[in-house]
């Protein structure tokens, strides 16, 4: 049960970030006005996903040590770098991918000890 | 990336602000959540019980502020670059605990902090080069 909650908190966080980035990206468009409805939809669903993730995390913090939960948050770095490239067509250079991987491993090491 | 505002509207400054707010909120959230933990309640898995702590409310205000900065950052910086950079907070939390709270840092944790910083440098370097050209 707790692993499902941890994964749910992680996935809702990643999805929320992607939705927000997509929504904020629309505001740069020359036709931003015509995207208003789409922008609001993306922003609200992004905020909803982040809110779910927030309360799931708060509930997990009441149950477990931060040092147990934090390694899973570390995974969000590499997950977001990859999913942003895949879903948002961002250019993921090898250098950024390696950097994201190093940060992920670093976060896991920091929180394990 | 297109032309961006400078000064307070500089997205890199907003990224730094967002990180500082997150840093403070994480510490307050953990303290508030621990103080109000009631694992006997059938609703405890939702974390809603944490709302009875004032510290959690202060943390929520900080989370909202960091969120607003973050939205602004997302307008200008690609997510695959902004998000890894925002995790500088994962090196700052243990470092702040060491400097200000006198907490011990194990060898393994030092290695982790070093890896996070190296990773940040690897992500930031091509960005810095790109900024120079602008």
Which DSSP helix (H) or strand (E) runs through B129? Answer: helix B107-133
Please give the pLDDT value at position A67: 72
Report the interhelical angle of B107-133 vs B89-101 (nearest 10°). Answer: 130
Is B37 an interface residue toward A (CB < 8 Å)?
Answer: yes
User: Is B123 in Cβ contact with A96 (below 8 Å)?
Assistant: yes
| Nearest C-alpha in A relative to B29 | A58
Of the pLDDT bands very low, low, confident and very high (cuts 50, 70, 90), residue B65 is very high
Structurally, how many domains does chain B consist of?
1
Q: Which residues of A touch B122 (CB under 8 A)?
A: 95-96, 98-99, 102
CA torsion through residues B46, B52, B54, B57, sign:
positive
* Chain B interface test: which of A103, A104, A107 (most B C-beta within 10 Å): A103
Please state, in angstroms and rounded to a whole number, the distance separating the CA atoms of residues B71 and A42: 12
Looking at per-residue confidence, does B130 or B133 come out higher? B130
Range B57-75 average pLDDT:
92
Please give the pLDDT value at position A1: 74
Residues A5-50 pLDDT 10s: 999 999 999 999 999 999 999 988 877 778 889 999 999 999 999 9
Range A104-110 average pLDDT:
90
Residues B67-105 pLDDT 10s: 899 999 999 999 999 999 999 988 888 887 777 666 788
Please give the pLDDT value at position A29: 80
**Token pair of B130, please?**
């790109």
SS3 category, A56 = helix
Q: What is the pTM of this model?
A: 0.81
Across all residues in chain A, what is the average pLDDT?
89
Is B70 within a domain?
Answer: yes
Ranges of H-type helices in B3-104: 11-35, 54-76, 79-86, 89-101
Containing structural domain, residue B77:
7-133
User: Is B84 in Cβ contact with A61 (below 8 Å)?
Assistant: no
Please state, in angstroms and rounded to a whole number, the distance separating the CA atoms of residues A88 and A19: 9
Please give the pLDDT value at position B1: 47
Looking at per-residue confidence, does A61 or A75 come out higher? A75
Of the pLDDT bands very low, low, confident and very high (cuts 50, 70, 90), residue B50 is confident
Is B1 within a domain?
Answer: no
Q: Which of B44, B71, B115 has its CB closest to that of A109? A: B115
Q: Are B92 and B116 in contact (CB under 8 A)?
A: no
Looking at per-residue confidence, does B125 or B31 come out higher? B125
Length of chain A: 113
Closest to B26 (Cα-Cα) out of B71, B109, B78, B88 = B88
Ranges of H-type helices in A1-113: 2-26, 36-63, 66-87, 94-112
Largest CA distance in chain A: 51
Range B29-33 average pLDDT:
76
Is B2 within a domain?
Answer: no
Q: Which residues of A touch B36 (CB under 8 A)?
A: 62
Please give the pLDDT value at position B55: 87
Q: Please give, rounded to a whole number of angstroms, the shortest distance from the CA of B130 to a CA of chain A.
A: 13
User: Is B112 in Cβ contact with A110 (below 8 Å)?
Assistant: yes
Across all residues in chain B, what is the average pLDDT?
83
Is A92 an interface residue toward B (CB < 8 Å)?
Answer: yes
User: Is A95 in Cβ contact with B78 (below 8 Å)?
Assistant: no
Residues A66-85 pLDDT 10s: 777 878 888 999 999 999 99
Please give the pLDDT value at position B2: 52
């Amino acid at each position: 049960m707790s692993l499902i909650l941890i994964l749910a908190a992680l996935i809702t966080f990643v999805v929320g970030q992607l939705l927000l980035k997509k929504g904020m990206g629309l505001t740069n468009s020359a036709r931003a006005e015509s995207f208003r409805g789409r922008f609001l939809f993306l922003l609200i669903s992004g905020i909803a996903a982040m809110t779910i993730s927030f309360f799931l995390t708060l509930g997990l913090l009441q149950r477990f040590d931060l040092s147990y939960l934090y390694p899973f948050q570390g995974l969000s770095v590499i997950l977001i770098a990859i999913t942003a490239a895949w879903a948002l067509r961002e250019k993921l250079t090898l250098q950024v991918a390696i950097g994201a991987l190093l940060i992920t491993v670093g976060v896991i090491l920091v929180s394990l000890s | 990336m297109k032309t961006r505002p400078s000064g307070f509207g500089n997205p890199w400054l907003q990224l730094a602000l967002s990180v500082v707010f997150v840093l403070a909120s994480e510490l307050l959230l953990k303290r508030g959540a621990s103080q109000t933990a009631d694992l006997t309640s059938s609703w405890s898995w939702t974390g809603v019980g944490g709302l009875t702590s004032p510290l959690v409310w202060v943390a929520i205000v900080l989370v909202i502020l960091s969120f607003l900065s973050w939205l602004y950052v997302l307008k200008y910086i690609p997510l695959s670059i902004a998000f890894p950079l925002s995790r500088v907070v994962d090196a700052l939390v243990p470092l702040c605990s060491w400097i200000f709270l006198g907490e011990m840092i194990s060898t393994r944790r030092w290695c982790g902090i070093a890896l996070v910083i190296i990773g940040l440098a690897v992500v930031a370097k091509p960005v810095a080069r790109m900024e120079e050209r602008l």
